[in-house]
Amino acid sequence: MAQALLQIDLSALQANWRALDARSEPGIETAATVKANGYGLGAGHVAHALAHAGARRFFVAIAEEGLAVRAAIGPDLPVHVYGGHMEGDARILHEAGLIPMLNSVEQLTRHLEALPGHPFGIQLDSGMNRLGMEPAEWASVAQIVLAQNPVLLMSHLACADETGHPMNAAQLAQFVEMTEGTGAPRSLAATGGVLLGPDYHFEITRPGIGLYGGAPFADARAVVRLSIPVIQIREVLQGESVGYGNSFIAPRDMRVATIAAGYADGIQRALSGRATLWAGDIACPLVGRVSMDLLTVDVSAAPEPPEWLDLLGPHQGIDDLADVIGTIGYEILTGLGQRYARHYL
């Protein structure tokens, strides 16, 4: 079998949710962000496991993503949509019982016309300038909105992974100014906001990346392991080339393993010549270019010819791999391809 194996540790996911939940006071609800197919790990599996751990509320990015989550958790728990209510969403919002987080007066109008009486929340812009109503826009409709009992008022922090960044306090102050005294439940904190402390927690937190084992939640347990089978091993003599473009020339005689995954599996081509794989505890450098279905790896340091090499595992987490090419763990996770055998533990 030449199918790489992606192991997804749902008990680690659950432990991460409990650990983040424990960072806020007991009365504060810890929801879960499961957008982008549960950060690439399978929204249904992830949501089901988190509901078992105690999560009672979920967030997705677009309405279509809510279907898999709804199917996994049953009819009762709220599922919110960050993207709000877009043209054509009414049916899916209604049928899957999703709660749009309305981002503008335009979305508010659309929602009240298309689905009167259907629950909604409001997303406010506290300074990030990405989604949500601006302060003046909110002021113009707040009274009307509040009379309709929005289920949640939320905003999102731009710099929550940088503890000392002045933007955090500025956004907090703006959010408080926009929501204080409304009586509606509030949410400001994703993973970074949970870690910033109680001022940022309000009634509901909604972490994502920390659940999946990523920074900035330093105490997270790793959730994924990616093991790639060796197809063949050859001796490469000093001066011979390996792979496309002859980009690697062997500086000495070496043993090179060709393994069954490549950029089609989300292993970015930018990792060419830069990544490290692991044969158990032995570091083995990737040599030459990442191709579509294959990687070539110098396994000379391994005492036995390995049958599998780990790209993600105990020696290299998602953020370690991300650092090699200047990206973030979020992108590593959500880029994981569809060709892996996915085993849920």
Ligand X SMILES: *Cc1c(COP(=O)(O)O)cnc(C)c1O
Closest residue to ligand X in the complex (CB): 208
CB of 80 to ligand X, least distance (A): 10
CB of 209 to ligand X, least distance (A): 3
296 makes contact with ligand X (CB under 6 A)? no
Nearer Cβ to ligand X, position 5 or 19? 19
Q: Which of 39, 200, 244, 330 is catalytic?
A: 244
Binds ligand X (CB under 6 A): choice among 111, 186, 206, 225: 206
The Cα–Cα gap between 56 and 69 comes to 12
From residue 3, how far is each of 128, 250, 305, 319 by CA, in Å?
42, 28, 19, 24
CA angle 18, 20, 26 (to 5 degrees): 75
150 makes contact with ligand X (CB under 6 A)? no
* 79: nearest Cα among 50, 108, 112: 50
Binds ligand X (CB under 6 A): choice among 66, 121, 207, 213: 207
Q: Which of 35, 39, 82, 340 is catalytic?
A: 35
Nearer Cβ to ligand X, position 203 or 240? 203
Nearer Cβ to ligand X, position 132 or 306? 132
Residues facing residue 249 across a β-bridge: 241
Nearer Cβ to ligand X, position 206 or 225? 206
The Cα–Cα gap between 111 and 128 comes to 24
Q: Which stretch binds ligand X (CB under 6 A): 69-77, 197-205, 206-214, 265-273?
A: 206-214
Is residue 330 part of the annotated active site? The answer reads no
Site for ligand X in 210-229 (CB under 6 A): 210
191 makes contact with ligand X (CB under 6 A)? yes
Is residue 244 part of the annotated active site? The answer reads yes
190 makes contact with ligand X (CB under 6 A)? yes
Binds ligand X (CB under 6 A): choice among 16, 24, 33, 291: 33
The Cα–Cα gap between 174 and 204 comes to 18
Q: Which stretch binds ligand X (CB under 6 A): 66-74, 202-210, 227-235, 292-300?
A: 202-210
* 341: nearest Cα among 212, 193, 227, 199: 227
Binds ligand X (CB under 6 A): choice among 92, 99, 209, 259: 209
Contacts for 20-23: CB closer than 8 Å, 24+ residues apart: 20/191, 20/194, 20/205, 20/207, 20/210, 20/211, 20/217, 21/54, 23/194, 23/195
156 makes contact with ligand X (CB under 6 A)? yes
Nearer Cβ to ligand X, position 210 or 266? 210
From residue 89, how far is each of 65, 83, 111 by CA, in Å?
12, 11, 9
Q: Which stretch binds ligand X (CB under 6 A): 172-180, 200-208, 287-295, 320-328?
A: 200-208
The radius of gyration computed from the CA coordinates of the chain, to the nearest angstrom, equals 23
Q: Give the count of residues interacting with ligand X (CB under 6 A).
A: 12
What's the helix, strand, coil split of the chain in %, to 5? 35, 20, 45
CB of 74 to ligand X, least distance (A): 23
Residues facing residue 79 across a β-bridge: 58, 98
φ and ψ at 211, to 5 degrees?
-65, -35
Site for ligand X in 44-83 (CB under 6 A): 82
CB of 207 to ligand X, least distance (A): 4
List, in sequence order, the alpha helices (H) in 54-104.
65-73, 90-96
CB of 259 to ligand X, least distance (A): 30
The residue count for the chain: 345
* 62: nearest Cα among 101, 32, 30: 101
Point out the residues that are catalytic.
35, 244
Q: Which residues bind ligand X (CB under 6 A)?
A: 33, 35, 82, 156, 190-192, 206-210
